[in-house]
Homo-oligomer: A and B are copies of this chain.
Amino acid sequence: MSTEATGPRLHAIYAPIAADLDRLDEFLGREFHSIEPFICQLLTHIARFRGKQIRPALLLLVARLTGGEVTDDQLKIAAVIELIHTATLVHDDILDDAALRRNVETIHRRWGERAGVLLGDYIYSRAFSLSTEVEGMAAVLSATTHTICEGELLQIGNRFRPEIGEEVYFEIIRKKTAILYAVACYLGGVLSGADEEDAARLRSFGMDLGMAFQIIDDCLDYSGDESVVGKSLGTDLHQGKMTLPLILLRESLDREGAKALLESFHGPMTSSLESRIATQVRERGALREANRRAQSFIESSRSAIAGLDPRLRESLEMVADYVLRRQR
Contact = CB atoms under 8 A, between A and B. Distances in A.
Contacts of A132: 132, 138-139, 142
A94 B95 CA distance: 12
- Does more than half of chain A's interface fall in helix, strand or loop, or is it mixed? helix
A18 B38 CA distance: 44
Interface string A107-145: 000011111011111101110110111000011001101
A94 B131 CA distance: 28
Interface stretch (A147-155, A252-260, A310-318, A319-327): A147-155
B117 A38 contact: no
Interface residues of A, number: 43
A39 interface: yes
Given A37-B157, A122-B146, 19 more contacts: A39-B157, A91-B118, A91-B121, A94-B113, A94-B114, A94-B117, A95-B113, A95-B114, A112-B156, A115-B153, A117-B120, A118-B149, A118-B152, A121-B121, A121-B149, A125-B146, A128-B142, A128-B145, A138-B142
Interface of A: 34, 36-39, 42, 91, 94-95, 111-115, 117-122, 124-126, 128-129, 131-133, 138-139, 142-143, 145-146, 148-150, 152-154, 156-158
